Copies of this chain bind each other. A is one copy, B any other.
Amino acid sequence: MAQPRLLPPAENAYPYPLLIKRLLMSGPRYNPDQTIHYANRSHYTYSTLVERIHRLANALTRAGVQPGDTVAVMDWDTPRYLECFFAVPMLGAVLHTVNVRLSPEQIVYTMNHAEDDLVLVHDDFLPLLAGVKDEIRTVKGYIQLTDNDRPADTSLPVLGEYEALLAQAGTEFDFPDFDENSVATTFYTTGTTGNPKGVYFSHRQLVLHTLSMTGALAAYDEMPLLRSSSVYMPVTPMFHVHAWGVPYAATLLGIKQVYPGRYEPERLVELIKTHKVTFSHCVPTIMQMMMATESIKTTDLSNWHVLIGGSALTKGLCEAGAKLGIRLYTGYGMSETCPLLSTTHLQPEDLERPLEQQTDQRVKTGIAVPMVELDIVDPNGRPVPHDGEAKGEVVVRAPWLTQSYFKEPEKGEELWQGGWLHTGDVGSMEPNHTLVIKDRIKDVIKTGGEWLSSLDLENLISQHPAVAAAAVVGIPDEKWGERPYALVVLKPDADASPEDIQAHLQQYVARGDINKWAIPEQIRFVDDIPKTSVGKINKKLIRDQLN
């Protein structure tokens, strides 16, 4: 078989590995005096950012960090964290962004599993670490992060305070070149069972994610999120998928950045107002909390664009946002995907309508961004038609997907099948390539050879006037494989029978929204629906209790 032509590398040419240090050149060059803010506490310029990254690399090196080591960070969203995003991988070490919302036991597990060598830890998390310090096995030292004049007292063996160490460190560090496939970052994802799993991303992957994200969030007039005049403030934590990788893209462009510290809804709204923030990303829960603040009513949000991810952007939330003038967009991805895969896609005719009439489009999972290949497949991995109806598991290829789970490749066997990353999400694809996620594949009800979305059914049941909440799971059925089973919480003082709920669903059958066989035979009224630690319906527990 004939092969494409490969020429030998030229002797004198520079091979240019794709390293994170390359993302730090253009921003400070375009805009050396542009500012990076830590809430309303302090700010500095891009020139200073570069200097501090060099200082940090010197401080870490003096603290014993070498290429190949792992440096963990436990901090709120701060410019310090941004400095770590660059300095740690740039010197050849691995940045472990610790999920500070995990239990102390889980945090210890991830620190031991990642083999952390050094931990940068904020005052607020010292008591947590002090309580488990005897179980931490590989850490050789701690650097303390503080927002006060005096760092908090601790029994941990602290090497010094971050700002003091930076002040003592030199302003020049010669960041080396190395293989672009070297691991740059790692963090842990949690499921409903088992220990957290470590995903990891290489320099190459993060550079490619950054370049593609920059184009995707800058070039489309329907979604002008990342442009030179944008003001960026993350509202999904920096420990979670590098705040969706946006800090890298914002820094590449040299735009104004605001790091909010802890997420307190009133203060977030205040920061949007003070700094004229134009772009954030956020999960629905935090968005709801911000919308519930008093101050949001007196804030002009007509220039605030928010990419919603983590869970689905519901029509209700999107409409509530539209009423406040907020432009909400769906972003789709997961920890394993670095994360960006797709975003809302609006046509010019959508944009001509009032914001409140654009919600049908905005809540769709959207269209794959450049360089991403998305498809839906049946259980045998065969493509499912893109007709907006047929459902399949969402599979993906992109140059920035985690290659496996750290030290547990066997856990990655479900993740990668046939050369595609399997997301575990079920969706349909419209003929115009717009993806609509319907459910998690574990929660979808396989009945009579069809896939029935538990989420769709929950939404429809919830629209009965007496219903406060609903959860639907599949239970084994000899004839149909599975049948839907509904748990329903009624509103206080409201009343309804299973037959009432079935009659309510019958109207959607009449309208053609669902098939007749989608109506559950079994509907049970309960006081409460089991939830996971992050507030999602715990369907695994419900199924376990039913079996």
Which residues of A are in contact with B by a Cβ distance under 8 Å?
1-7, 9-14, 16, 18, 22-23, 25-26, 29-30, 32, 66-70, 92-94, 178-179, 181-183, 200, 208, 211-212, 214-215, 218-222, 226-229, 252-253, 345, 367-373, 397-399, 401, 403-404, 406, 409, 412-413, 415-421, 432-433
Residues of B with C-beta under 8 A to A70:
5
Instruction: Give the shortest distance, in Å, between A415 (CB) and chain B (any CB).
Output: 8
Query: Given the complex, which residues of B lie within 8 Å of A404, measured CB to CB?
Result: 7, 10, 13
Among A6, A67, A219, A252, the one with the most B-chain Cβ atoms within 10 Å of its Cβ is A219
8 A-B pairs in the complex with CB atoms less than 8 angstroms apart: A5-B70, A6-B181, A6-B183, A16-B397, A26-B371, A29-B367, A30-B367, A211-B371
CB contact under 8 A between A13 and B401, given known A25-B373, A221-B228:
yes
Residues on B with beta carbons closer than 8 Å to the beta carbon of A345: 30
Q: Chain B nearest CB: distance from A206 CB in Å?
A: 13
Once the chains are docked, how many angstroms separate the CA of A258 from the CA of B373?
27
- Give CA–CA (A23, B369) in the complex, Å: 11
Residues of B within 8 A of A92 (CB): 2-4
Cβ contacts under 8 Å, A214 to chain B: 214-215, 218-219, 370
A409 touches B370 (CB 8 A): no
**A221 CA / B219 CA spacing, docked (Å):** 11
Given A13-B403, A14-B401: 15 more A-B contacts, CB < 8 Å: A2-B67, A2-B92, A3-B67, A5-B183, A7-B403, A12-B418, A12-B419, A16-B397, A25-B370, A30-B345, A211-B370, A214-B370, A215-B253, A219-B227, A220-B228
Bound Cα distance A9, B252 (Å): 28
Q: For the complex, what is the distance from the CA of A356 to the CA of B184, rounded to whole Å?
A: 47
Tell me whether A4 and B182 are in contact in the complex, defined as CB-CB below 8 angstroms, given that A29-B368, A211-B215, A420-B14 are known contacts: yes
Q: Count this chain's copies in the assembly.
A: 2
Q: Which residues of B contact A13 (CB under 8 A)?
A: 401, 403-404, 412, 416, 419, 421
| Nearest-Cβ distance from residue A337 to partner chain B, whole angstroms | 12
Q: How far is the CB of A256 from chain B (nearest CB, A)?
A: 12
A227-B216 Cα distance, complex, nearest whole Å: 10
Contact between chains at A403 and B9 (CB < 8 Å): yes
Looking at the assembled complex, report how far the CB atom of A352 sits from the nearest CB atom of chain B, in whole angstroms.
13
Answer whether A416 and B211 are a contact pair too, CB < 8 Å, given A218-B219, A219-B228, A228-B220: no
Residues of B within 8 A of A16 (CB): 397-399, 401
Q: What residues of B have a CB within 8 angstroms of the CB of A11 in the complex?
A: 409
Assembly CA distance A12 to B414 (angstroms): 10
Tell me if A10 and B403 are in contact (CB < 8 A).
yes
- Are A14 and B397 in contact, with the CB atoms below 8 A? yes
Asked if A370 contacts B6 (CB within 8 A), the reply is: no
Q: In the complex, how many angstroms separate the beta carbon of A126 from the nearest chain B beta carbon?
A: 28
Residues of B with C-beta under 8 A to A370: 23, 25-26, 211, 214, 252-253
| A20–B96 alpha-carbon span in the complex (Å) | 34
Distance A421 CA – B229 CA, assembled complex (angstroms) = 33
Closest 10 CB pairs of A and B: A4-B182, A12-B416, A2-B66, A218-B219, A10-B404, A214-B215, A4-B92, A10-B403, A26-B370, A211-B211
Q: How far is the CB of A420 from chain B (nearest CB, A)?
A: 7
Residues of chain B contacted by A182 (CB below 8 angstroms): 4-6
